[in-house]
């Protein structure tokens, strides 16, 4: 870095709070401008999820008093066996409260990428910092974090597990061109379901800004999201009070900027589908959805809504519709003409016995997790699985079907 470089270590929430304008200006002009790196997302996460055992460790890099990079780290000391976990602000909350901050990264101007990587690595290796290993989720390959990982390879082993795929649609110039890009069966399904809905009543789509209280749109999303997941027998993320508090605060901070939007589709004045979007840099990020499944076979409301919304975005000049990440390598999102990119969970572990243990654990996980998912897909609960395994250990003559 040039000699006129200064690094400011931000360790308290008040300094973090004052960075808002400079932070967002940097995100807008950074290598990967996206909403999950904005100050509102990260500061709100810290307000809701930070514990007394978390140490804020944001590195702000200045050149000639101009902010050129931010490394939004904190150190997690909440678990007595796993003290000193270096993480990105926006991840690390309990699974039941998880908001999923996609694509964590160092925020930097492109022309400073290489020198910023060097200075951040040098800073991280200073003896006074208490972190022992790093843990990051939903990383993409071309992230600055990935460059830092390579620089740290002399001191740390790196363990990688697939998080699945990220799905995005590069939007064409016209809305009809998008529909024509779909497979023949998808075009037929969309047009037939749309025709059925239009013949049986009025379709109306309302944005959160059009509600007297935008929080009403969030409540509708919650209701429809519950209807979608409770039918599958899965827990609903809206059972988490922390998750709800996070999104209520975020709605208040983003709504006037037009970055957040909750869109609700009505059919005959009944809310049948909703999507929770973040709009940034001419891209729309589809974060969450919900729909009434009562007439799913007849109307497929979510499919109709998705295609109508994508057409609206094309007409509004958006260049991409991002479905974010999904576990595994196969998703319904592929039907919408998406391009895919792998995303990863990564651990940085200082070489030694800890690294060996983690390597063995990850090897075991790659064997066991697919088997577990296979049994779960067959509808077997853990009790039935134990019964099946116990039967397999008995003499063949005693096994009862």
- Looking at residue 400, its pLDDT comes to 29
| DSSP letters for 112-165 | GHHHHHHHHHHHHTSTT----EEEEEEEETTSHHHHHHHHGGGTEEEEEEEEEE
Say what the pLDDT of residue 393 is: 44
Cα 189 → chain centroid: 29
Which of 154, 120, 107, 140 lies closest to 7 in space, CA to CA? 120
Sequence spans of domains, the chain: 5-162+346-351, 172-318
Torsion of CA 296, 301, 306, 309, to 10 degrees: 180
The fraction of the chain above a pLDDT of 90, given in percent, is: 68
Residue from 280, 282, 281 nearest 260 by CA:
280
- Top pLDDT among 292 and 37 is at 37
State the pLDDT confidence band at 80, using cuts at 50, 70 and 90. Answer: confident
Higher pLDDT, 130 or 224: 224
Which pLDDT score is estimated for 389?
46
Euclidean distance between CA atoms 221 and 274, whole angstroms? 6
Q: What per-residue confidence (pLDDT) applies to 373?
A: 54
- Check whether 398 has a pLDDT greater than 70: no
Mean pLDDT, the chain, rounded, equals 87
Write out pLDDT tens, residues 286-325: 999 999 877 778 899 999 999 999 999 999 999 999 999 8
Fold agreement (5-162+346-351, 172-318)? yes
Beta carbons of 334 and 167 less than 8 angstroms apart: yes
The pTM of the full predicted model, rounded to 2 decimals, is 0.86
Kindly indicate the confidence band of residue 360, based on its pLDDT and cuts at 50, 70 and 90.
low
Domain covering 172-318, topology: Aminopeptidase (3.40.630)
Among 192, 90, 197, 69, smallest CA distance to 136 is for 90
Q: Which fold has domain 5-162+346-351?
A: Aminopeptidase (3.40.630)
The pLDDT assigned to 312 comes to 96
Confidence band, pLDDT 50/70/90 cuts, at residue 110: very high
């Amino acid at each position: 870095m040039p000699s006129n470089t200064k690094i400011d270590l931000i360790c308290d929430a008040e300094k973090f709070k004052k960075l808002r304008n400079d932070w967002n200006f940097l995100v807008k002009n950074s290598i990967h401008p996206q909403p999950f790196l904005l100050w509102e997302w990260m500061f709100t996460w810290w307000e809701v999820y930070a514990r007394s055992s978390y140490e804020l460790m944001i590195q702000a890099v200045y050149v000639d008093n101009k902010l050129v990079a931010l490394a939004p780290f904190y150190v997690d000391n909440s678990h007595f066996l796993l003290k000193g976990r270096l993480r990105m602000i926006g991840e690390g909350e309990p699974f039941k409260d998880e908001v999923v901050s996609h694509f964590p990264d160092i925020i930097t101007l492109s022309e400073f990428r290489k020198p910023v990587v060097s200075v951040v690595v040098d800073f991280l290796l200073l003896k006074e910092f208490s972190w022992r290993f790093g843990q990051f989720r939903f990383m993409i390959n071309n992230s600055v974090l990935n460059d830092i990982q390579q620089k740290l390879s002399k001191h740390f082993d790196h363990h990688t597990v697939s998080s699945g795929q990220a799905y995005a649609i590069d939007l064409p110039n016209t809305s009809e061109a998008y529909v024509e890009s779909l497979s023949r069966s998808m075009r037929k399904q969309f047009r037939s379901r749309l025709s059925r809905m239009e013949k049986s009543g009025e379709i109306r789509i309302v944005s959160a800004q059009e509600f007297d209280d935008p929080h009403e749109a969030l409540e509708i999303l919650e209701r429809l999201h519950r209807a979608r997941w409770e039918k599958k027998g899965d827990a609903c993320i809206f059972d988490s009070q922390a998750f709800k508090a996070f999104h209520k605060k975020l709605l208040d901070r983003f709504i006037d900027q037009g970055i957040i939007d909750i869109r609700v589709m009505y059919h005959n004045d009944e809310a049948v589908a909703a999507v929770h979007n973040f709009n940034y840099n001419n891209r729309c990020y589809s974060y969450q959805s919900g729909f009434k499944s009562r007439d799913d076979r007849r109307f497929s409301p979510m499919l109709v809504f998705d295609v109508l919304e994508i057409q609206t975005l094309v007409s509004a000049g958006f260049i991409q519709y991002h479905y974010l990440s999904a576990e595994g390598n196969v998703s319904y999102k592929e039907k919408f003409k998406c391009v895919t990119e792998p995303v990863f969970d990564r651990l940085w572990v200082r070489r030694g016995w800890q690294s060996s243990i983690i390597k063995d654990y990850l090897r075991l996980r790659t064997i066991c997790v697919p088997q577990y998912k296979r049994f779960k897909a067959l509808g077997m609960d853990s009790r039935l699985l134990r019964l099946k395994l116990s039967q397999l250990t008995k003499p063949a003559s005693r096994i009862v079907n």
